[in-house]
C-alpha cells in the first residue's frame, strides 16, 4: 500500500494512508472481546463454531481464487473478519457441518461470485446466515443454555454427521427451549433484567449477547476513524425513538428502548454488520438515511413480523437500497453550496 | 438461429431442441414455470409434459393453418390456438389428479403466456411444414421437460432427500428447506446453467473447433 498521502494523478488525491489489511486487523481486534466473552459464556461450542467458520471462510476464498486462476486474496484478512462476524451470528449448538455450509455460501456466493472484496452488494456474513436461516429454520432457532460443564463437553448436536438431522440432548430440554430475550418478549411479554442483557449473560447467538463488549469494540473502531459513527447512531436512535413512540400508544406490548437496544443482534448488527464499508452508502447524509431505514425495519420486524428478530433482514434490505441512496444523495462540491449534479 | 434449422432433417430438428438450443439451458426461455413449479420431481414432470403437449399440438395446428393466417393478426391467432390447447390440458390434468392440479396452480393456465410456446409458433411452425414443425415442437418440448426434471430432481433431493417421493437419502437426512422455496429455484437453475455451459465449452475446446459463446436470445 502507498504510504504517501498526496498523490499526483486524477482525483482522489488524498490517501488516508490506511490499507485494507490494517482496517481488517482492527475490525478483528474490535470483535475479540465479544468473541472471548462468547467462549467464556457458551464454552467449547462457541470456540468450535468461531474457529470452524473462520477456517472455512479463508479456505473458501483461497479455493475460489485458485479456481479462477487468480492470485489469492486471503492475505487481506477480509475472509477472517467475515468468518468471525458470521460465526458470531450463529447459535452455539448449531451442527458444525451447517457452520461449514453457511461459511461456503457466505464467502463463495455472497462475496466471490460478485467479484470479491468491494464488489459484493450484501454483507457476506449475513448472506451466509440468511441462507442457513431459510434452509434450517429449526436448527437456527434452537438455543442451548449455559451448563457448568461447558468447557469440557459440547452439545450432542455439534458433531452431527454431515447432512444428517441434528439430535439435541434430551437431558437438557430446558436448554433447548432456552428462549432468547426477544423470543420471551414476543411470546410471553416478559422482559429479562437489563443488567443481564447489557453484560450478556443470556441465551442467544454466539457473539451477540454481550452488548457492552460489542459497544466497546464499536467505539474503538469509531475512535480509530475506521467506521462511520453515523450508521450505528442513526440505527440506535431510530430504534429508541420508535420504541418510545410505540410505547405511548400500545403500552401493553412493552416496547422498552433499552431492552430493544441490548437484546438480540441489534448491537452486533449496528456496530459491525451495517457499517460494512462495501454495503453502506458513501455520503454522511446517505449513512444517516440508511441507518434510520435499518432501525425502522428492525422495529417493524420485531414488533409485527413473524420472527422475533429482524436485524439480519433489515441490514440486508439496507444493503440493497444503499446504491439507490448513493444515486440520489450526492456529496457537496468543494467550496460551493451545491451538490454535484445528478448523473 | 433459424437459418441453420432450415437445412436440417427432422431428426436433426428434433435433436436441436433437446440439446443445442435447449429452451431452458441455452435459450433461457419460459423462466416463470421453470423456477416456480420445479420444487418437486413430480411437479416438474407434470409441468414439463403439459407444456410439451401444448407445444406439440399448437405447433402442428399453426403449421396446418399457416397459409390462412393473415400476417397482421398472426399473434392473436397463435395465442387463441395455444389457449385452446391449454384449456384442454388444464381439464385433462384436473381429471387425472386434483392434487396435482392444485400443486401446479396458476402456472398450468399460464402456459398460454409461456414465450417458448409462442416463440416456436412464430419462429418455426408458421413457416415450416407440419412434419418439421412437429419434430421441432417435440424436440423443444422434450428439452423443456428435460431441464425441468434436472431442476426438480436436484431441488427435491437436496430439499427433502427424496426423488419422486422416495426417500433416497435415508430418513435421518436433514433437508435444506431453502431448496424447496423460491431461492432454491434460482440456485439450482444457476448451477445447471453453469454446468452445461462448462460442459459445452470443454467439449468444444477438446475437439479444437472454434466455438462462439451464444448468449441467451431475447424472447
CB distance B177–A166 less than 8 Å? no
Contacts of A166 in chain B (CB under 8 A): 174
CA nearest to A295, candidates A245, A223, A331: A245
Q: How many structural domains compose chain A? A: 1
> Which grid coordinates belong to A120?
459484493
Q: CA–CA separation, B124 vs B133, rounded Å? A: 7
CB distance A134–B169 less than 8 Å? no
Q: Worst-scoring range by mean pLDDT, B1-10, B70-79, B166-175, B193-202?
A: B1-10
Please check the confidence at residue B37 and state whether its pLDDT lies above 80: yes
Question: Using beta carbons and an 8 Å cutoff, which residues of B are at the interface with A?
Answer: 169, 172-174, 176-179, 181, 183
What's the Cα-to-Cα distance from B129 to each of B70, B74, B138, rounded to whole Å? 17, 17, 14
Q: What is the pLDDT of residue B209?
A: 55
B39-59 per-position pLDDT tens digit: 999 999 999 999 999 999 999
Q: CA–CA separation, A120 vs A124, rounded Å? A: 8
B111-169 per-position pLDDT tens digit: 998 989 999 999 999 999 999 999 999 999 999 999 999 999 999 999 999 999 899 88
B210 phi and psi angles, rounded to 5 deg? -80, 125
Q: What is the pLDDT of residue A135?
A: 94
Which residue shows C-alpha cell 409434459?
Answer: B49
Measure the N-to-C terminal CA separation of chain A; round to a whole number of Å: 31
Residue B135: count other Cβ atoms within 10 Å of its Cβ: 25
Q: Please state the rounded mean pLDDT for residues B210-218.
A: 50
pTM: 0.88
A86-126 per-position pLDDT tens digit: 999 999 989 999 999 999 999 999 999 998 888 999 999 99
Going by pLDDT thresholds of 50, 70 and 90, the confidence category of residue B10 is confident
Stretches where chain A sits below pLDDT 70 are: 1-7, 145-146, 169-179, 334-343
Q: What is the pLDDT of residue A308?
A: 78
**Cβ atoms of residues A202 and A180 within 8 Å:** yes
Q: What is the pLDDT of residue B54?
A: 96
> Which grid coordinates belong to A235?
440505527
Residue A333: count other Cβ atoms within 10 Å of its Cβ: 11
A126-139 per-position pLDDT tens digit: 999 999 999 999 88
- Looking at the domain assignment, is residue A222 inside a domain? yes
Q: What is the pLDDT of residue A343?
A: 45
Please check the confidence at residue B92 and state whether its pLDDT lies above 90: yes
Q: What is the pLDDT of residue B2?
A: 47
Residue A317: count other Cβ atoms within 10 Å of its Cβ: 16
Q: Please state the rounded mean pLDDT for residues B68-84.
A: 94
A56 phi and psi angles, rounded to 5 deg? -65, -40
Contacts of B177 in chain A (CB under 8 A): 134-137
Please check the confidence at residue B5 and state whether its pLDDT lies above 90: no
Q: To the nearest whole angstrom, how far is the Cα of A248 from the nearest Cα of chain B?
A: 39
Strand partners, B80: none
Give the residue with greater pLDDT, A151 vs B82.
B82
- Looking at the domain assignment, is residue A159 inside a domain? yes
Q: Is the previous residue joined to B75 through a cis bond, with omega within 30 degrees of 0?
A: no
- Looking at the domain assignment, is residue A37 inside a domain? yes
Hey, of A108, A134, A166, A313, which one would you mutate to test binding to chain B, going by the most B CBs within 10 A of its CB? A134
- Looking at the domain assignment, is residue A110 inside a domain? yes
The tally of CA atoms less than 13 A away on the side-chain side of residue A260 is: 27
Hey, of A128, A163, A313, which one would you mutate to test binding to chain B, going by the most B CBs within 10 A of its CB? A163
Q: CA–CA separation, B66 vs B75, rounded Å? A: 12
CATH code of the domain in which A302 resides = 1.10.3430
CA nearest to B93, candidates B43, B133, B56: B43
**Domain limits at A62?**
20-327
Dihedral angle at the C-alpha atoms of B205, B207, B211, B215, nearest 10 degrees? -70
Amino acid at each position: 500500500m502507498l504510504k504517501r498521502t498526496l498523490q499526483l494523478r486524477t482525483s482522489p488525491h488524498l490517501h488516508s494512508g490506511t490499507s485494507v489489511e490494517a482496517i481488517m486487523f482492527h475490525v478483528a481486534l474490535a470483535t475479540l472481546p465479544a468473541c472471548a466473552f462468547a467462549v467464556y459464556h457458551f464454552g467449547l461450542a462457541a470456540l468450535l463454531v468461531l474457529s470452524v467458520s473462520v477456517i472455512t471462510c479463508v479456505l473458501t476464498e483461497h479455493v475460489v481464487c485458485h479456481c479462477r486462476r487468480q492470485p489469492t486474496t486471503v492475505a487481506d484478512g477480509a475472509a477472517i473478519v467475515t468468518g468471525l462476524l458470521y460465526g458470531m451470528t450463529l447459535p452455539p449448538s448449531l451442527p458444525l457441518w451447517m457452520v461449514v455450509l453457511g461459511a461456503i455460501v457466505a464467502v463463495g456466493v455472497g462475496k466471490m461470485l460478485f467479484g470479491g472484496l468491494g464488489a459484493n452488494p450484501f454483507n457476506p456474513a449475513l448472506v451466509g446466515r440468511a441462507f442457513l436461516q431459510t434452509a434450517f429454520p429449526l436448527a437456527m432457532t434452537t438455543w442451548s443454555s449455559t451448563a457448568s460443564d461447558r468447557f469440557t463437553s459440547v452439545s450432542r448436536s455439534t458433531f452431527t454427521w454431515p447432512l444428517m438431522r441434528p439430535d439435541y440432548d434430551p437431558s437438557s430440554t430446558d436448554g433447548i427451549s432456552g428462549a432468547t430475550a426477544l423470543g420471551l418478549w414476543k411470546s410471553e411479554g416478559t422482559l429479562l433484567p437489563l443488567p443481564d442483557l447489557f453484560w450478556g449473560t443470556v441465551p442467544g447467538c454466539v457473539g451477540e449477547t454481550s452488548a457492552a463488549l460489542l459497544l466497546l469494540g464499536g467505539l474503538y473502531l469509531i475512535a480509530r476513524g475506521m467506521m462511520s459513527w453515523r450508521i450505528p447512531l442513526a440505527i440506535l436512535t431510530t430504534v429508541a425513538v420508535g420504541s418510545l413512540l410505540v410505547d405511548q400508544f400500545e403500552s401493553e406490548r412493552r416496547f422498552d428502548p433499552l431492552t430493544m437496544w441490548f437484546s438480540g443482534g441489534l448491537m452486533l448488527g449496528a456496530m459491525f454488520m451495517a457499517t460494512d464499508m462495501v454495503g453502506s452508502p458513501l455520503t454522511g447524509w446517505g449513512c444517516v438515511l440508511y441507518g434510520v431505514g435499518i432501525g425502522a425495519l428492525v422495529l417493524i420486524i420485531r414488533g409485527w413480523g413473524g420472527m422475533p428478530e429482524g436485524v439480519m433482514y433489515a441490514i440486508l434490505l439496507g444493503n440493497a437500497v444503499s446504491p439507490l441512496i448513493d444515486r440520489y444523495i450526492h456529496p457537496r462540491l468543494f467550496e460551493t453550496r451545491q451538490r454535484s449534479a445528478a448523473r | 438461429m433459424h437459418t441453420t434449422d432450415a437445412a436440417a432433417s427432422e431428426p436433426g430438428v428434433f435433436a436441436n431442441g433437446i440439446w443445442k438450443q435447449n429452451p431452458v439451458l441455452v435459450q433461457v426461455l419460459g423462466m416463470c414455470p421453470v423456477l416456480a413449479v420445479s420444487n418437486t420431481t413430480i411437479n416438474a414432470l407434470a409441468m414439463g409434459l403439459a407444456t410439451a403437449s401444448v407445444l406439440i399440438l399448437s405447433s402442428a395446428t399453426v403449421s396446418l393453418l399457416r397459409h390462412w393466417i393473415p400476417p397482421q393478426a398472426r399473434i392473436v391467432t397463435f395465442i387463441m390456438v395455444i389457449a385452446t390447447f391449454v384449456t384442454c390440458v388444464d381439464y385433462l390434468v384436473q381429471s387425472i389428479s386434483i392434487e396435482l392440479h392444485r400443486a401446479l396452480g396458476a402456472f398450468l393456465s399460464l402456459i398460454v403466456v409461456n414465450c417458448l410456446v409462442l416463440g416456436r409458433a412464430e419462429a418455426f411452425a408458421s413457416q415450416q411444414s407440419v412434419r418439421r414443425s412437429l419434430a421441432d415442437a417435440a424436440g423443444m418440448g422434450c428439452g423443456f421437460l428435460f431441464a425441468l426434471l434436472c431442476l426438480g430432481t436436484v431441488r427435491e433431493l437436496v430439499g427433502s432427500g427424496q426423488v419422486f417421493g422416495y426417500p433416497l437419502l435415508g430418513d435421518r437426512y436433514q433437508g435444506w428447506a431453502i431448496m424447496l422455496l423460491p431461492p432454491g429455484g434460482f440456485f439450482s437453475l444457476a448451477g445447471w446453467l453453469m454446468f452445461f455451459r462448462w460442459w459445452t465449452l470443454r467439449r468444444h475446446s477438446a475437439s479444437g473447433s472454434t466455438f462462439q459463446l451464444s448468449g441467451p436470445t431475447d424472447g
